[in-house]
Amino acid sequence: MLRRASELKGYSIRATDGDIGRVDEFYFDDQSWVVRYLVVNTGNWLTGRMVLVSPIAIEKAVWLEEKLHISLTRDQVKNSPSVEVHPPLSRQREIEYFNYYGWPYYWEGGGIWGPWPHPRSLVESRARAEADIVQQGRRIGSTGDPHLRNTDEVIGYHIGATDGEIGHLEDLLIDDETWSIQYAVADTRNWWPGKKVLVSLEWIENISWTDSRVYVKLSREALKNGPEFDPSIPLTSEYEARMTDYYQQLRL
């Protein structure tokens, strides 16, 4: 099911032995559009510290209670490598983080989570020798930094269509199983009052971090005519089918 990033902010995170804090924002890969980390505000527990929690650690979600259960203890989280949550996250820091928990690296393999489509699959395959972890770290350490950005950075960016500006990016819709971002929510009130539409990620051409803009390969008219999005109404399979059909027609 698809969830709004803004909806997931504030969800409580529960370790195996107690709560650790609440979701503050997310780190996502700006090339594969997958949420790699939840940034958790630990409140009074670890005063002044934000920690990263990978979707790999999420064991179950209790949506009605707005709570995510993770397979880590409070001590594991407390003693995890300190990571700066606002600057772009370096690959070396990710390696330290993954080695600490003993997880295989998500950036190895053909799927969005290593060779797999779901983050929990990495946990099921994490049994390997310590030497393999060290060797893997040496091999990946020189491949450069990942393309990780936080959601708070991109929300509010102007959206540029092929024939001019149409509005701004208001939200992101996340698949709650794969943690991949499926749609961007465009608020067009600056150009077409009152309407919000979903933009399929296949139509996003690029993000300009220096200009604070998201460029899409669609005209303003094409976006305006897309199915309207109402954030107060749960997404249904029928609505998603309409979205798919609409964007399929644009490809023809």
Per residue in 192-231, pLDDT tens? 776 888 888 888 988 888 889 999 998 988 888 888 888 8
Per the CB < 8 A criterion, the answer to whether 10 and 244 are in contact is no
Which amino acid is located at 70 in the chain? I
102, 106, 126: which is closest to 117 by C-alpha?
Answer: 106
Per-chain mean pLDDT for the chain? 85
Per the CB < 8 A criterion, the answer to whether 20 and 69 are in contact is no
Q: Is pLDDT at 134 greater than 50 in this prediction?
A: no
Instruction: Say what the pLDDT of residue 101 is.
Output: 92
DSSP the chain: -EEEHHHHTT-EEEETTEEEEEEEEEEEETTT-BEEEEEEE-TTTTTT-EEEE-GGGEEEEEGGGTEEEES--HHHHHTSPP--SSSPPPHHHHHHHHHHHTPPPTTSSSSSBTTBSSTHHHHHT----HHHHHHHHHHHTTS----EEEHHHHTT-EEEETTEEEEEEEEEEEETTT-BEEEEEEE-TTTSTT-EEEEEGGGEEEEETTTTEEEESS-HHHHHTSPB--TTS---HHHHHHHHHHHHHHH-
Q: Is pLDDT at 136 greater than 60 in this prediction?
A: no
Four-CA torsion 133, 135, 136, 137, nearest 10 degrees: 90
Q: Burial of 41 by CB count in 10 Å (0-12 exposed, 13-18 middle, 19+ buried)?
A: buried
Instruction: Say what the pLDDT of residue 203 is.
Output: 87
Per the CB < 8 A criterion, the answer to whether 42 and 21 are in contact is yes
- Please tell me the CATH code under which domain 2-149 is placed: 2.30.30.240
Domain residues of the chain, as ranges?
2-149, 155-251
Q: Is pLDDT at 6 greater than 90 in this prediction?
A: yes
Per residue in 157-183, pLDDT tens? 999 999 988 889 999 999 999 999 999
Q: Is pLDDT at 135 greater than 60 in this prediction?
A: no
Would 2-149 and 155-251 be classified into the same CATH topology?
yes
CATH topology classification for 155-251: SH3 type barrels. (2.30.30)
Instruction: Say what the pLDDT of residue 28 is.
Output: 92
Q: What value does the mean pLDDT take over residues 109-132?
A: 72
Dihedral over Cα of 189, 229, 8, 202: its sign: negative
242, 231, 87: which is closest to 153 by C-alpha?
Answer: 87
Instruction: Say what the pLDDT of residue 23 is.
Output: 96
